[in-house]
Amino acid sequence: MLITFSGLDAAGKSTQIHLLLAHLRRCRVTPIYIWTRGGSTPLFELLRRSFRRAAGGPVAGVGQRLFRSRKVKYRWVRIVWLWLATAELLWIYGVQLRWHRRRKRVIICDRYVWDTLVDFRTMFPEFPIERWWIWRQLTRWAPSPDHAFLLLVPVDESAQRSQQKADPYRYPPELLKQRLAQYEALTGLAGWHVLDGRRAPEELAAEIVAVAGL
């Protein structure tokens, strides 16, 4: 079973994943947990750190990565960055995740394909990433989730929560508005079960367990 969690920043996604993982373990199920963010996965971070050290420059925190990437002067560098980030996700979703699924494991994905599309659309609007061959391969080979949940909160709530927890992926309000609009536009295509992140965590957790039949 593949269960994915998507959502606006600080909408409560991590809390619900933690509660679901705890529920599964109480049921004697050992789930596979996979977190992804285009350009910030472990292999990509290792390559970036190696490059930066070799160049003698500082190693930026992962929370700064997308902001710096969009400011890169050369267009071709941004294109290569997007291709490599997408190619790594293709390996994770199209190979690793499918392997776990063939073994009948319960897989919990913290962020999935559509979250990356929201990232890329808002941070690199100059590129029609959905038309690229590498992106079409990603959407072709990434398995369809058995259950896909989307947590949303208003922009003001998202910004306040992110500030309170010192989230390294904090976005300015104008970008949060764009991200929320992107999530809302993709709801039909992604097939999400939409949840209001302002509801009590325990109430949301109970609904998630019921919807997933766990």
Give the 3-state secondary structure of residue 200: coil
pLDDT at 70: 57
**What's the mean per-residue pLDDT of the chain?**
88
Q: Taking the domain 2-212, which CATH number applies?
A: 3.40.50.300
pTM above 0.75, yes or no: yes
pLDDT at 209: 98
191 pLDDT band (50/70/90 cuts)?
Answer: very high
The amino acid occupying position 124 is F
Paired tokens of 177: 């508005």
d(CA 71, CA 64): 11
61 pLDDT band (50/70/90 cuts)?
Answer: very low
Q: Which residue has the higher pLDDT, 48 or 109?
A: 109
63 pLDDT band (50/70/90 cuts)?
Answer: very low
pLDDT in tens, 171-180: 888 999 999 9
List the single range of 37-41, 43-47, 109-113, 196-200 with lowest mean pLDDT.
43-47
Domain boundaries, the chain: 2-212
pLDDT at 83: 93
d(CA 157, CA 130): 30
Q: Are 88 and 79 in contact (CB under 8 A)?
A: no
Q: Are 195 and 152 in contact (CB under 8 A)?
A: yes
For the segment 63-87, the average pLDDT, to the nearest whole number, is 73
